[in-house]
């Protein structure tokens, strides 16, 4: 059972409410988003009408308590939303969910004034938000952040160059990491980081270049530049020096959502391959009658359902606030995203030459799945996290182990 305590740790707890929510999201995804996916692929832009519809459904408020104008719900509901949206458009799923990388740290570490000011407009979908941490020389290595914040009276002067920031082009608010003090030695590189809440219309905040990444057409990241930006003291998130803790805690929460996104991609890959294999004929027979095809379909389904169960399990542990949710989230994110990549490639092979045609939509799943293996912590970083959690469980610390 190690690193888990007993067999009850492997339960998955779902409810009729979650299933009703899933059906609502699926209907929206198929009826509203589905007809626009090719348009998004070609224009690299998500139509405003889809965001309007998402507001009507309250999707931006999932996971935010009602007292801050949110819809409530927890990790399971967020995971199901990511799965169902990603089955049709991983890019739109990302566009809706990315504000969570802002709202989660504000909910967990913000004071009441920050919560009252910033959470309600995001929950209502009136404002967008993003998380600005990655830099040219620091991404997975959060302790390597080089942006600076220097105290100046009742303000902080922040200078930063952030890259690959999802949702930056629409965001009104950012949480931004910066170094408020230097670390004393290599073993304490993580110290001295802090997070700040920054508004886009403040002097010195600029949205830079858009990165034309391989996938997620319609929701692609941007550069965010801060030049001598004056940030009020009250916009320091949490305590000074808590930045590393804020970052890793936020990613622990976000990881399960990416696993859900990967499950949605794998589901789409399976459905497209299965439907094609039934309809396509070769040598006067449906190609599903050939073992080379049918065995691939069986393998996709096996891995897909395993990924789904692991993802729902991690979300259940997170919903319960269990410490084991950290390692479970890394297991689910790594496994599900790699299943999505494999399933998408297998689906292309079942389609043959047709699978390479963008109009069919299968090759886009492969491009999107590759992104999921990288953001929210690369899968190699997840493997490090898994082993470190094992060392902490066994020895009380991972220091010196890995």
Quote the pLDDT of residue 402. 47
What tokens appear for 226 in the block? 């801060």
Contacts of 75 (CB under 8 A, 6+ apart): 63, 253, 256, 257, 315, 316, 318, 319
Quote the pLDDT of residue 184. 67
376 catalytic residue (yes or no) = yes
In sequence order, what DSSP letters do the residues of 5-69 get, joined into one string? SSGGGG-----HHHHHHHHHHHHHIIIIIGGGHHHHHHHS---HHHHHHHHHHTGGGBTS-GGGT
Note if the bond before 400 is cis, omega within 30 degrees: no
Closest to 220 (Cα-Cα) out of 336, 82, 126, 92? 92
Quote the pLDDT of residue 397. 64
Q: How many CB atoms lie within 10 A of CB 206?
A: 12
Q: Please name the fold of domain 129-241.
A: Butyryl-CoA Dehydrogenase, subunit A; domain 2 (2.40.110)
Helix axes 75-88, 16-28, angle to 10 degrees: 30
In 3-state terms the chain splits into helix, strand, coil percentages (rounded to 5) of: 55, 15, 30
Quote the pLDDT of residue 398. 57
In the chain (402 residues long), the average pLDDT of successive 10-residue segments reads 85 93 97 96 96 97 96 95 98 97 97 98 97 90 91 96 96 97 77 95 97 94 97 97 94 93 98 97 95 97 98 95 92 98 97 93 96 93 91 72 48
Q: Please name the fold of domain 7-123.
A: Butyryl-Coa Dehydrogenase, subunit A; domain 1 (1.10.540)
Question: Catalytic one among 83, 84, 363, 376?
Answer: 376
Name the architecture of domain 245-395: Up-down Bundle (1.20)
d(CA 107, CA 266): 31
Domain locations in the chain? 7-123, 129-241, 245-395
Contacts of 35 (CB under 8 A, 6+ apart): none
Is residue 295 packed enough to be buried (19+ CB in 10 Å), middle (13-18) or exposed (0-12)?
Answer: exposed
Q: What is the pLDDT of residues 262-294, one digit of tens each?
A: 999 999 999 999 999 999 999 999 999 999 999
In sequence order, what DSSP letters do the residues of 203-223 get, joined into one string? TTEEEEEEP--SS-TTS--EE
């Amino acid at each position: 059972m190690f690193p888990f305590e007993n067999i009850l740790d492997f339960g998955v707890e779902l409810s009729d409410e979650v299933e009703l929510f899933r059906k609502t999201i699926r209907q929206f995804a198929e009826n509203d988003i589905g007809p626009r996916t090719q348009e998004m692929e070609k224009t690299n832009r998500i139509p405003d009408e889809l965001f309007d519809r998402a507001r009507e459904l309250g999707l931006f408020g999932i996971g935010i308590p009602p007292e801050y104008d949110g819809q409530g719900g927890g990790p399971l509901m967020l995971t199901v939303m990511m799965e169902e949206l990603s089955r049709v458009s991983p890019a739109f799923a990302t566009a809706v969910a990315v504000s969570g990388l802002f709202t989660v740290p504000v909910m967990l570490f913000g004071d009441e004034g920050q919560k009252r000011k910033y959470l309600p407009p995001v929950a209502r979908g009136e404002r967008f938000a993003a998380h600005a941490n990655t830099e040219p020389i620091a991404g997975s290595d959060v302790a390597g952040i080089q942006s600076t914040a220097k105290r100046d009276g009742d303000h902080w002067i922040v200078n930063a160059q952030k890259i690959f920031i999802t949702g930056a082009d629409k965001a009104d608010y950012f949480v931004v990491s910066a170094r408020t003090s230097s670390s004393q030695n290599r073993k304490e590189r993580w110290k001295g980081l802090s997070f700040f809440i920054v508004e886009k219309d403040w002097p010195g905040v600029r949205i830079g270049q858009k990165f034309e990444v391989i996938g997620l057409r319609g929701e692609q990241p941007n550069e965010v530049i801060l030049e001598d930006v004056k940030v009020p003291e009250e916009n320091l998130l949490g305590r000074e020096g808590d930045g590393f803790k804020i970052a890793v805690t936020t990613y622990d929460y976000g990881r399960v959502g990416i696993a859900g996104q990967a499950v949605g991609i794998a589901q789409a890959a399976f459905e497209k391959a299965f439907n094609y294999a039934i309809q396509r004929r070769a040598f006067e027979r449906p190609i599903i009658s050939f073992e080379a095809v049918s065995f691939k379909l069986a393998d996709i389904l096996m891995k897909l359902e395993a990924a789904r169960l692991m993802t729902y399990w991690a979300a259940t542990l997170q919903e319960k606030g269990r410490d084991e949710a950290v390692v479970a989230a890394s297991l689910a994110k790594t496994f599900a995203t790699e299943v999505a990549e494999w399933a998408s490639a297998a689906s292309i092979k079942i389609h043959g030459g047709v699978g390479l045609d963008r109009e069919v939509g299968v090759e886009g799943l492969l491009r999107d799945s590759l992104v999921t293996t990288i953001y929210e912590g690369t899968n190699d970083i997840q493997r490090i996290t898994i082993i470190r959690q094992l060392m902490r469980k066994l020895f009380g610390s991972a220091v010196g182990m890995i």
